[in-house]
Amino acid sequence: MKHSLHGGLAVAVIACASTLASADMYLDPAGDVFSTDVFNLDITSVEVTNDDTNLYLTINVDNLDGRDWGKYLLMFDTQAGGRTDNPWNRAIDTNGNELDAFVGSWIDGGGGSLFYNGDAGGWNENGGAGLGVDFGTSSISYSISLAQLGVGVGDVIRFDVATTGGFDGDPGIDLLSTDVTQPGWGEGTSLMGD
Q: Is the pLDDT of residue 32 over 50?
A: yes
Q: What is the mean pLDDT of residues 166-184?
A: 96
Can you give the pLDDT at residue 123? 98
Q: Distance between alpha carbon 100 and the CA centroid of its chain, in Å?
A: 13
String of DSSP letters for 98-110: PBSEEEEEE-STT
For the chain, what is the mean pLDDT?
A: 91
Q: What is the mean pLDDT of residues 146-171?
A: 94
Q: What is the mean pLDDT of residues 13-40?
A: 84
Nearest CA-CA partner of 118 in 74, 163, 57: 74
pLDDT tens across 74-129, in order?
999 999 999 999 999 999 999 999 999 999 999 999 999 999 999 999 999 999 99
Query: In this structure, how many other beta carbons lie within 10 angstroms of the beta carbon of residue 2?
Result: 10
Can you give the pLDDT at residue 10? 77
Residue 20 confidence class, pLDDT cut points 50, 70, 90: low
Backbone angles phi, psi at 93, to 5 degrees: -85, 125
Q: Is the pLDDT of residue 3 over 50?
A: no
Q: Is the pLDDT of residue 1 over 50?
A: no
* CA–CA dist 98, 80 (Å, integer): 8
Q: E-assigned strands of the chain?
A: 2-4, 10-13, 24-27, 43-50, 54-61, 71-77, 92-93, 101-106, 112-119, 122-125, 130-134, 139-145, 156-164, 174-175, 190-191
Does 37 or 4 have the greater pLDDT score?
Answer: 37
Does 182 or 8 have the greater pLDDT score?
Answer: 182
Q: What is the mean pLDDT of residues 41-65?
A: 95
- What is the chain's alpha carbon radius of gyration, rounded to the nearest angstrom? 15
